[in-house]
Structure 1
Amino acid sequence: MNFNTWINIFTILENNLRRVCMDFKLKIQMLLFFGSLLSALNGVTMAASGVADVYAIRAGRIVTVSSGVIENGIIIIRDGIIEKVGDNIEIPVEAELIEADSLTVYPGLIDACVSLALKKKPVKKPPDSSSDSDGETSPPESIALLQPEWMASDWLDPKDAKIKSYREIGVTTALTALDDGIFIGQSCLINLAGDAPEEMIIKSPVALHIGFARQRGDYPSTLMGVMAFQRQTFLDVNHHRLLWERYARQKRGWRRPLANKSLDALFPALDRRMPVIMLADRENEIKRALALAEEFRLNTILAGATEGWRVAELLKSQQVPVLLSLNFPKPDQVTGYPFKLKIEGPKTEPASAEATSDKKSEPEKDDAEMSEIYANAARLSQAGIKFAFCSKGLKKPEDFIKNAAKAVKHGLAEDAALRALTLNAAQIFGVSNQIGSIEDGKIANLLLTTGNIFEDKAAIHLVFVDGKKFEVKKDPSKKADNNSGAAPANVSGAWSVTVESPQGAVAATLTLHQSGSEITGEFSSEVGASPIYNSRLSGNELEFSVKLIIAGSPLEITFYGTVTGNSMEGAIDLGEMGSAGFTAIKPEYQRL
């Protein structure tokens, strides 16, 4: 072959090689392009479907609690954790973007003491605790109130209907335990989301709970009896431990002490390894609780303390933190009221045409009588006492925030109130590195609301619990309390009620008599009839309580219903037994 032929061959090879290289380069570029496109589309698809675990919240205002307020800030949530919070953050391409320029973001609220998300209360049986030959004393016969080994974490119910009610007012975390008894059991700190108990638990156990429940017709039936029972039990624990310590040193020649799981469960409390939450509301209960704590050197937290202002100096001197109940007592339930009434006489208002005609002045009069009670939190704050708010004793979850706002109106600083709803509880329970404020690395428990959370016009739009997003949808058929001036619904008549109880549907009859907003009547079921009390009708919202005798013991239940014409539906607070739904129908011809 001549030279020209070789030149042609090399030219053809060069052109083919260049074409192959260009094709390969094009393929690589196409692969990179479609890979990026697929990744972006995947993120968009996940966000659109609501299953993305990455969120970016662009908010007008972020109240961190721990580090002030961030205006026009961004929060990145990934895998249930706050990845980043600040005012100049790059938003990940895979994140679901939540535009909240007009909203304020707060840390999720913490209810510091409540009976929530628990299965039906177990039957309390006396533990095996008879005396042994070494003289170990058994607790009194009303031993059913001695169950410190009971663990709330073993009885969690993720399907409790009340969880949603609390979550929709912004509560994302709660300390839950039984709310009655003497040695009640051990509490559990939970997040209010999850399909299984294990998904809800933040810390367990948190504390041993001790109460001052009296037994009607049985020991202990008085406060002094309860104190004697508590003190004797702690003495029994010390003696029980001494027997076992002696037996551990020398087993030969000594009778083996009897096992007692209830007394064993109190060891950590006496060793100060576990805090003791004392449920005490009234002045005398608080003083005796603190005396017991001082005698046995307990690491004490006080819960309830609705008369805390009466013993503020004592609480301060003993450095006792408080889980302050927002279940305000009535003035006549406060210690010293009968004596005050006897000395000062009943309050009278000067009669006048204006006073008798202005019905709207009644709420203001009631508020004036309650001012000292509403100012309880402010008094504790002024005394330098650390406290967190709880709903202990409240019947309606929505009153939790409303009553916190009343505390603010009666002298409590807003920032102190917000800390009492968030970071203070986290610090008291030893989990402030996980919850209580909006910080990098903490659990993504958040609530998004319009404006100031303590204002009546504030409305919660979104709640995040463990990074899971929940939309709060208000029922337009329900009227808010501040619209209570609307004409009351006609509820007078005989209602056929169906209660969806944990054991199935139960039929009952509700007979109501109405005079304006004044409601009286009777509730009848297979367990008997009971008059209603504490009734309140606001527009089409009806609330009332009844007391039923179940297995020989009184049980107070409270109905919350929304009336629409001749039908009614709502929820029932069953106290320690949880909650249930109900519906009722009133045929037109049954009106009274």
Structure 2
Amino acid sequence: MKKLNIFAVIVALLFSLSATAEAQITEKPEYGKFAITGATIHTVTNGTIEGGVILIDGNDIAFVGQNIKITDEYTRIDATGKHVYPGIIDGWTGLGLVEISAVPVTVDVAEIGQFNPHMYAFTAFNPHSASVPVTRVSGVTTVLSRPSSGSISGKAAVMDLWGYSPDSMAVKKSGALIMNLPSKGGGSWDTRSEEEIQEQYENQIKEINDFLNKARFYDQMMKAYEADPSGKTKPDFDPRMEAMREVLTGDVPVVISVNDEEEILDAIEWTKGQQDMSFVFAGVREGWRVAEEIAEAGIPVLTTTLYTPSRDYDSYQRPYENPGLMAAAGVKVAIVSNDTENSRNTPFEAGYAAAYGMGTDEAIKAITINPAEIFGVADKLGSIEEGKQANLFISDGDPLEPMTNIEQVFIKGFKIPMQSRHIQLYDEFLNRDAVNR
């Protein structure tokens, strides 16, 4: 029976892999020079341009504005009555690292051990995942694909959703360090006393602090050697410590998952002792309770809207209001999916926030320029500006509305085929009759 079960699993995996491969057989993208004309252009950073023109030359946006002569070398795309937005950025997902959540061999988000700063999600990213085209045809052109395990999970990567290899898709291989601080919270199942909970919390925090102090000492030794290597023995190379160097200087932000009020306040207090490091909070479901404290600490957040309130007496609207309340307090907010299969729903997460107080303009920023700034790629992504990478899409309306159709997507200047496994299945079963019936 055991052998039969193993055989069945292998067959199922082979079938799923062949189905995935088949799902990627699409038409090829177009590349070159394009002129999008007549559209309402939502630049995000420089207002809205009615009846505008966008010129795409190779990877980049060459012009954004009005009244420009378009030469014959450009392929014209008439977008009269349509809208153009910068590509949506989902700043918290397992896309590319998870294919089928229920099948462990297709899940590659975790490493053994508590401290793995030298592990890069970029190296495990699957560019041929069936979820990639499903996501990008919905207007999501870029994601932060992140690992999850231990106290320090590894480095998340900022990835564009077009390419044949991780190298060709990477915007920033080292986008963020993912960290999980301990929590004092328990549940009805937790039989520990308050003293025991506090003691375990302090021990776990000490382990993290000790690791960081070791990394700082390593960095000091390496800097001293690099400044004057003559007559000195080079310190032994340590891949974990080496990976921490760009984190200790603040060049790579540290993303910490926190949700309830106490966790957030504890995390804020802990970050105050970490000089020169840059922090981002993810989750932050009760951020609205301590929004002023988060703003005062200057910590941006990655949050969602589709979850159940953590306290029975909270209004059902709080998850939808949370991003807007934090933004109103001065917190930089990026709205994310916190999902893999449903990374495509990032704009609808933002739609709830827009409807519950955040407003459309701020909600659009929360899925475009804000995550781009948080992860240090705003020079390339997040808005429609001359000189930036041509990541954008054409729609027939507001992308935060579920009834809006995304009609065309560009990623790195490539005019992406509007095909995905979902679309193929829809077309297949829409008309199930024989061709000659």
- The answer (yes or no) to whether the contact 2:254–2:280 under 8 Å persists in 1 is yes
* Partner in structure 1 of residue 194 of structure 2: none
2:384 counterpart SS class = coil
Q: CA RMSD in A?
A: 3.6
Residue among 372, 391, 399 paired with 1:445: 391
Equivalent residue letter for 2:413: G
C-alpha distance in structure 2 between counterparts of 1:77 and 1:244, whole Å:
44
- The answer (yes or no) to whether the contact 1:181–1:212 under 8 Å persists in 2 is no
* Partner in structure 1 of residue 343 of structure 2: 397
Residue among 382, 406, 427 paired with 1:436: 382
**Superposed displacement of residue 91, structure 1:** 1.8
Matched ranges for 1:547-562 at <5 A: none
* Partner in structure 2 of residue 544 of structure 1: none
TM (normalized to structure 2)? Answer: 0.77
C-alpha distance in structure 1 between counterparts of 2:228 and 2:63, whole Å:
59
* Residue ranges of structure 1 left out of the alignment (5+ in a row): 1-48, 126-143, 342-368, 480-561, 565-592
* Partner in structure 2 of residue 319 of structure 1: 298
Residue among 64, 74, 90 paired with 1:111: 90
**Superposed displacement of residue 248, structure 1:** 9.9
**Superposed displacement of residue 100, structure 1:** 1.5
- Rg: which structure is higher? 1
1:189 matched to 2:154? The reply is no
1:375 counterpart SS class = helix
Question: Which structure shows the bigger proportion of residues in strand conformation?
Answer: 1
* Partner in structure 1 of residue 51 of structure 2: 72
* Partner in structure 1 of residue 366 of structure 2: 420
Residue among 169, 173, 177 paired with 1:204: 173
**Superposed displacement of residue 441, structure 1:** 1.3
C-alpha distance in structure 2 between counterparts of 1:256 and 1:470, whole Å:
49
Equivalent residue letter for 2:48: V
Q: Deviations over 1:58-102 (max 9, x none)?
A: 133111111111111111111121111212122220222111212
Residue among 130, 136, 152 paired with 1:161: 130
C-alpha distance in structure 1 between counterparts of 2:331 and 2:252, whole Å:
21
C-alpha distance in structure 1 between counterparts of 2:75 and 2:164, whole Å:
23
* Partner in structure 2 of residue 387 of structure 1: 333
C-alpha distance in structure 2 between counterparts of 1:467 and 1:222, whole Å:
51
* Partner in structure 1 of residue 25 of structure 2: none
Residue among 295, 304, 316 paired with 2:273: 295
C-alpha distance in structure 2 between counterparts of 1:320 and 1:417, whole Å:
18
Taking a change above 3 Å as real, the CA distance of residues 225 and 414 of structure 1, as seen in their structure-2 partners, is farther
* Partner in structure 1 of residue 108 of structure 2: 121
Count of aligned pairs? 380
Equivalent residue letter for 1:306: R
Q: Deviations over 1:137-167 (max 9, x none)?
A: xxxxxxx021011122322321122211220
C-alpha distance in structure 2 between counterparts of 1:398 and 1:52, whole Å:
24
**Superposed displacement of residue 395, structure 1:** 5.0
Equivalent residue letter for 1:282: D
C-alpha distance in structure 2 between counterparts of 1:164 and 1:224, whole Å:
44
**Superposed displacement of residue 122, structure 1:** 7.4
* Partner in structure 2 of residue 277 of structure 1: 255
1:148 counterpart SS class = coil
- The answer (yes or no) to whether the contact 2:61–2:387 under 8 Å persists in 1 is yes
Residue among 401, 411, 427 paired with 2:357: 411
Q: Deviations over 1:486-522 (max 9, x none)?
A: xxxxxxxxxxxxxxxxxxxxxxxxxxxxxxxxxxxxx
- The answer (yes or no) to whether the contact 2:38–2:78 under 8 Å persists in 1 is yes
Q: Deviations over 1:235-258 (max 9, x none)?
A: 34345557778999999xx99986
**Superposed displacement of residue 170, structure 1:** 0.6
C-alpha distance in structure 1 between counterparts of 2:97 and 2:337, whole Å:
16
Q: Deviations over 1:421-441 (max 9, x none)?
A: 111122222222211111111
RCO greater where, 1 or 2, for CA within 8 Å and sep 6 or more? 2
2:63 counterpart SS class = strand
C-alpha distance in structure 1 between counterparts of 2:228 and 2:392, whole Å:
57
Equivalent residue letter for 1:442: K
